[in-house]
Chains A and B, each alone.
Chain A
Amino acid sequence: MRAIGIILAGGNNYRMRELSQKRAVCAMPIAGSYRSIDFALSNMSNSHIKKVAVFTQYNARSLNEHLSSSKWWDFGRKQGGLVVFTPAVTSENSFWYRGTADAIAQNLAFLKDSHEPYVVISSGDCIYKMDFNKVLEYHISHKADITVVCKDLEAEYNVDRYGILKMNEERRIEEFEEKPVIARTNTISCGIYVVRRRQLIEMIEKGAEEDRFDFVKDILIRYKGMKRIFGYKLKDYWSNIATVEDYFNTNMDFLKQETSDFFFRQYPDIYSKVDDLPPAKYNYGAHIKNSLISSGCIINGTVEDSVIFKKSFIGNNCYIKNSIILNDVYIGDNTHIENCIVESRDTIRANSYHKGEDGIKIVIEKNDRYVI
C-alpha cells in the first residue's frame, strides 16, 4: 500500500478512572486475549502498510512491553517495520507531546524521510476492523486533502464526547465540532484519517510555528473550509474505549456471536502478542454460562455473562457474574463478584464480596499472592 501508518497512542484518560493508573488506554486488554492497539496495528498490517509509527507518552511501560517485538503483527521487516516514538529531549525541543499534532511535529523526520505518498492516522484506543485501501481509494477518487472515517451512531447514543461532523451531499465535511455541548448530528469522527504526506507535513509545520498542537482542533477544524475534507462512512463495528462504561460494554459486545464472528472468524484476523499459555482448564465445580474464557485460566467456580482474561484462577464455589476479570487475577474460594472490573495481577482473598451497585465497580486490592 502506498501509505505509512501513524498510531496515536498517547493519552491518559481520566474517564477510565483507576484503570488508567496502570497503563495507557491503548494497552487496555480487550476481549480476553488482545490489547486495544492490536486492532489498529492489525488493520494496518492487513492493509499492507509496511511502516508504522506509534506515538506514546503516558505510562507507556505496559504498551512498550506489548510492542517489544513487532513480529506478531508481521512488522518485523527489513523494509519498514514498527517504530515507537516517545518524547525525547533534542537540541530544539524539550517538551512532552503537547498534543497529537505536536507528537507528529516532534517526529516530523519520520514523515519527511518516507517516500510513500499517503499517511493513514489511527488512534490506538478504537476497536474496529477495516481495510485502509478502501479509504485510500475513496480519498483519491474524491480528490480529498483529508479523509475522515466517520460513523453514524444510534440516535439515543450520547455523542457529546466525540468529534461531531456534518457532511454535504457529496460527502464533504461542512461542520466539525469537538465535544459539542449540543450535538446536531449523530455522525462522529472515528479518529481515523487519510491524508497526503506532503500535505500533512505542510499543515503540521504551519501549526508548529503558531504553537498549535492538536490535530483535530488545529488542523481538521481550522482547515475545514479551506481544504477538501471528506467523510468516509464506516458501517461495521467500531467502538472507542474512552470511558469505563464503554470499556465494559465493548468487552461484553464480544459475547455476541455477531461481534465475535466479525472479529475472530472472518478474514482478516486480528493479531496479538503470543503468550505461550496452556489451554484453559475446567475442574469439577466449574459452571460457565455465556462467557469468554482465555487461555491459561483455571476455573473451579461459576462464571456467568463475563469475560475472563488470560491466566486467571477462579477458586471453588466462586460466583462471577456480569464482570470482567483482567489478566492474571487470582480469586480465592467462595468469592462473589458482580458488575465489576477486577484489575490485572490482583489477588482477591477467599470469601470476598464485590458488587457494583449502580454502575461498574473497579476492584483493585493489592493483596499479596500466596505462592505455595
Chain B
Amino acid sequence: MKAGIVIFPGINRERDMAIALKQSFGHEPRMIWHKETDLGDLDLVVIPGGFSFGDYLRCGAMAARSPVMRAIHDHAVRGGYILGVCNGFQILTEADMLPGALLRNASLRFLSMDCHLRVERNDTVFTSRYQIGMTFRAVMAHGDGNYFADGETLDRLEHQGLVAFRYTTPTGAITPEANRNGSARSIAGILSPNRRILGLMPHPEDLVDPLMGGTGGKPLFDSLAAA
C-alpha cells in the first residue's frame, strides 16, 4: 500500500505519523504539500494532527478549502483510503467527508493524556488487526475533540455501524470519566459509509513503540499494511 501524508501549514504530527507508517509499511510515506493537486498512485492519504493555518478560524476550516482537498475528494470518490487523525479528523468533517463536528473539549481546556479506545468493528482496513470489543491505549492531545452531531446523524452512524472507536475505561466500560472531552456517545472515531475513510481524535501514531510507553496504536498501521 502506498501512503502519503498531507502537509498543511501548521500541521505538526507529520513526523510521528511518518515513523508509524514506515514501521508498519517498511517504506517512507510520501509527503504532500497542500498546494499539490495530483496525488499520483497513492492508496492511502493521511491527514495528520496539528494546527492547520493556526486553527485561528474553526479548527480545520481553512485547510478544508486548500487546493489539495479537491484531489483528496477525488481520491475518496475513487474509493481510496483516507485516515484523518486529530486535526485531520477536524479537516475531514469541515470538508464534509465525514459527518458531525469537533467542538471545544467539555472542560474548555487542552487535554494531553492517555485514553483507552474500544474497537467497535474489525472488518475495516484500519482495524483488522484488532479484535472487536478490545481496548487499546492511545495518546490524546487536543483542545477541540468533543465530537458532536445531531441525534439523527448519531443514530445513523450507530445503525450503519460507522462508529470505529469509543472512549472507554481500560476494561471497555463507557463512563463519563473515560470520555474526557465530552464527545457524543463517547465517539472517538468514525467511518465513512464505505468504511474507507476513518477520522479519529486520539493519536495511534504516538504509541507504536514500547520505548514511548506502549504499542496500542501499532495494529492500526499493521492493519493498513496488510490491506
To the question of whether A and B form a pair in one complex, the answer is no
Q: Which positions in B face A, CB cutoff 8 Å?
A: none
